[in-house]
Amino acid sequence: MRVGLVCAHAGPPPARRNRYVGTHQHVARVAAELAERGHDVRVYERLDDPDAPPTSEVDGYRVERVPVGPARRAATEELVPHVPELGRWLTGRWAAEWAPEVVHGHFWIGGLAAASAVRETVIPVVQTFHSLGVEQRRHLGEAYRGPGQRIPLELALTRAVDMAVAGCTAEVDELTRMGLQRASVVMVPGGVDIELFTPEGEAMPRNGRPRILAAGGLEPGHGQEDLIRALRLVGDAELVIAGGPPADNLGNHAEARRLREVAEQSGVADQIQLVGAVPHDHMSAWYRSADLVACTPRYASAGRIPLEAMACGVPVVGYSMGGIADTVVDDVTGRLVQPGDVRGLGVTLRRLLAADAERFAYGHAAVDRVRCSYTWDRTAGALERLYERVVRRRQPAAS
């Protein structure tokens, strides 16, 4: 099958591809898995460097860089006016030579371009939003910084696609509230690299204290302040926060300064360690160094971090929301706490740090769960069946 994956943002620089995590890492892994299954896959991303080649072959699939928009890194709001041009470029490209049998848009910008490109054809469109503006705004409140056009354009996009792919149960519910029929939404969680994230391997050094690890972005809404306040109930343990800018730039980072102030006010400043940005291919060593991984964001569309931790055999304590609620099985692979319950969070962390046998059992169950249900091969297989379904459904219209 000929598959076109459209991600309108520029991809990461070649030197960072193995260390990058986000939408492009997801798209790249899906493309590689589909190519390994024998499909002809092309990934379309925006060209942001005039010196970059227009096409390249990566892991069995082709990357095509679209010369649309500014020839530099650009924020999402800068790309919105260029979506029609991107759609026209794709239409011309697919009319001239190679044409996909199915198009899969990623993030709302990529989805808009994909839907625009095929609107005069019978090529079906599958869409993965990765996150939804309406849900982010509801959970993050004033901390939401998305472009003003995002929410109405996402709503319009739901009317233009054949099938939407959700990453978790909460996203399925959100998409149906936006007007999609339940039969037009399928849940396909992202996978985990089970060769990189394993219980065996190097671990980062420790200082003798029990270690709680929090990973992800370093910005309002990621919930690290809840963990800091919960430490008062935990006792003698350290909280390592990975994410944000490089370590030598943390002093100039507003959220890093705010979290340190929260720690000072809570009397736990000596128990907090901010390590800054960690390359994705180094995260497994940090997971393995922890007794527990904590996930307490205000909004969680996917469960990538808990899954990576679980693949390394580390129990997860997280808020019962979004992808975390799907991936962490309460009292089997970790513990779930009601979002915002700082006291419940602290008590749960303290009890689990004191229960060595329980953590050991959770860790073993976590590894089994990931390897059975959350591999990239399983993700690609589910998408392959979905593509076949939407293509068959469009074939009568073609005839």
User: Within a domain: residue 302?
Assistant: yes
Are 17 and 155 contained in the same domain?
A: yes
Query: Comparing C-alpha atoms, which of 73, 72, 64 is closest to residue 92?
Result: 64
Are 274 and 384 contained in the same domain?
A: no
Write the DSSP symbol of residue 11: P
Lowest mean pLDDT among 113-127, 213-227, 262-276: 213-227
Beta bridge partners of 104: 5, 126
Mean pLDDT, residues 101-121 taken together: 96
Are 103 and 247 contained in the same domain?
A: no
Which residues make Cβ contacts (< 8 Å) with residue 210, sequence separation at least 6?
A: 236, 237, 238, 291, 353
Mean pLDDT, residues 76-100 taken together: 92
User: Within a domain: residue 278?
Assistant: yes
Q: Domain tally for the chain?
A: 2
- Give the pLDDT of residue 354: 97
Are 62 and 161 contained in the same domain?
A: yes
- Give the pLDDT of residue 399: 47
Lowest mean pLDDT among 39-43, 74-78, 97-101, 184-188: 74-78
What is the side-by-side strand order in the sheet with 292-295? 272-276, 238-242, 211-215, 292-295, 316-319, 334-337
| Amino acid found at 382 | A
User: Within a domain: residue 25?
Assistant: yes
The mean pLDDT of the chain is 92
Mean pLDDT, residues 358-364 taken together: 98
Q: Are 291 and 358 in contact (CB under 8 A)?
A: no
Are 161 and 275 contained in the same domain?
A: no
Overall pTM > 0.85: yes
Are 130 and 240 contained in the same domain?
A: no
Are 345 and 390 contained in the same domain?
A: no
Are 95 and 53 contained in the same domain?
A: yes
User: Within a domain: residue 250?
Assistant: yes
Beta bridge partners of 164: 127, 185
Q: Are 47 and 13 in contact (CB under 8 A)?
A: no
Q: Are 211 and 237 in contact (CB under 8 A)?
A: yes
Q: Are 163 and 186 in contact (CB under 8 A)?
A: yes
- Give the pLDDT of residue 97: 80
Q: Are 276 and 287 in contact (CB under 8 A)?
A: no
Report whether pLDDT(13) > 80.
Answer: no
Report whether pLDDT(318) > 80.
Answer: yes
CATH number, domain at 280?
Answer: 3.40.50.2000
User: Within a domain: residue 88?
Assistant: yes
- Give the pLDDT of residue 396: 60
Beta strand ranges found along the chain (DSSP E) = 2-7, 40-46, 55-58, 61-66, 102-106, 125-128, 163-166, 185-187, 211-215, 238-242, 272-276, 292-295, 316-319, 334-337
Q: How confident is the model at residue 351 (pLDDT cuts 50, 70, 90)?
A: very high
Are 173 and 158 contained in the same domain?
A: yes
In terms of residue numbers, what domain contains 241?
211-373
User: Within a domain: residue 271?
Assistant: yes
Are 289 and 391 contained in the same domain?
A: no
Which residues make Cβ contacts (< 8 Å) with residue 386, sequence separation at least 6?
A: 126, 163, 165, 186, 188
The pLDDT tens digits for 388-397 are 999 998 776 5
- Give the pLDDT of residue 21: 64
User: Within a domain: residue 9?
Assistant: yes
**Rounded to an integer, what distance in angstroms lies between the CA atom of residue 269 and that of residue 238?**
10
Q: How confident is the model at residue 19 (pLDDT cuts 50, 70, 90)?
A: very low
Tokens coding 128: 């993965």
Are 180 and 320 contained in the same domain?
A: no
Computed from CA positions of residues 205, 209, 213, 218, in that sequence, does the dihedral angle turn out positive or negative?
negative
User: Within a domain: residue 204?
Assistant: no
| Amino acid found at 271 | Q
Are 331 and 388 contained in the same domain?
A: no
